[in-house]
């Protein structure tokens, strides 16, 4: 199935400090491409993969599950570790959950985590109905384009396949159980107003991770897709500063 124009993955070879960016559920690399380009221009090696089932049509997503999405970012992380001395993981929404699981599972192979409006729970009522509803209804309305900035657009599906949504719900349960294993420096940016992921998800993550170096940033002018919204430049600048600080500190310790 041909890719939707703009949904292509991105890879940039830069310094020995790499950043893996993970996009969200039903979205595509387009939502993070400006972030990836900012980091590439700053000299980082950047990987922005396309998750299985995304970037084509929603019916393709219905045939995938969280194990497929996670396997893709896990593979990209390993490739970055082969070429970079330090590697950071980052993500938006479900991509934030993927980044957090990478940190939990890979330990010292991940030097830091930056997440934007990370998701780790599922709406209670719809979540309870999913195990049955997914066998009766193929899809429901989409969740893309929650952006305050006029004229901005997120490239993603206008339908959510319920089989994939059920798998996402299971994945969030896995991630919640592994949050205490996240010990790396953490930058968490979340919007005051988000119509897709409740602020309670960020609060839950902050309460459960074991990271000692934690920075929380509130985004006042953006909705869910903050990487394409009014606060995008702040997301880019704050994350670049975070990566630079952690990388320089590790380099200094290694050289001591």
**Would you name the residues annotated as active-site residues?**
93, 194, 224
Report the run of H or E that residue 46 belongs to, with start and end: strand 45-48
If you ran DSSP here, which 8-state letter would residue 116 be given? Answer: E
The Cα 100–Cα 209 span in angstroms is 9
Q: Are 217 and 237 a contacting pair, CB within 8 Å?
A: no
The Cα 65–Cα 135 span in angstroms is 15
Strand partners, 19: 46, 88
Closest CA to 35 of 242, 221, 213: 242
End-to-end alpha carbon distance in the chain: 52
Q: What is the dihedral of CA 151, 157, 162, 166, to 10 degrees?
A: -80
The Cα 217–Cα 176 span in angstroms is 21
């Amino acid at each position: 199935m041909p890719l939707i124009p703009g949904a292509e993955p991105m890879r940039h070879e830069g310094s020995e400090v790499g950043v893996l960016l993970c996009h969200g559920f039903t979205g595509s690399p387009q939502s993070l491409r400006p972030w990836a380009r900012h980091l590439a221009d700053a000299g980082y090696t950047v990987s922005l993969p396309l998750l299985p089932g995304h970037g084509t049509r929603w019916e393709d997503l219905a045939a995938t599950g969280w194990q497929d999405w996670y396997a893709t970012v896990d593979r990209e992380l390993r490739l970055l570790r082969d070429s970079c001395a330090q590697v950071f993981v980052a993500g938006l929404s479900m991509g934030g959950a993927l980044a957090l699981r990478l940190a939990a599972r890979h330990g010292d192979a991940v030097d830091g985590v930056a997440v934007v409006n990370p998701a780790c729970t599922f709406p209670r009522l719809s979540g309870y109905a999913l195990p049955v509803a997914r066998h009766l209804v193929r899809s429901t309305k989409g969740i893309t384009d929650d952006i305050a900035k006029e004229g901005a657009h997120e490239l993603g599906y206008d339908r959510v396949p319920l089989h994939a949504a059920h798998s996402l719900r299971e994945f969030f349960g896995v991630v919640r159980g592994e949050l205490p294993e996240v010990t790396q420096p953490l930058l968490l940016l979340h919007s005051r107003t988000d119509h897709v992921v409740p602020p309670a998800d960020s609060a839950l993550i902050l309460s459960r991770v074991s990271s000692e170096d934690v920075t929380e940033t509130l985004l006042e002018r953006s909705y869910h897709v903050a990487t394409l919204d009014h606060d995008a430049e702040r997301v880019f600048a704050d994350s670049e500063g975070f990566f630079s600080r952690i990388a320089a500190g590790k380099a200094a310790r290694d050289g001591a």
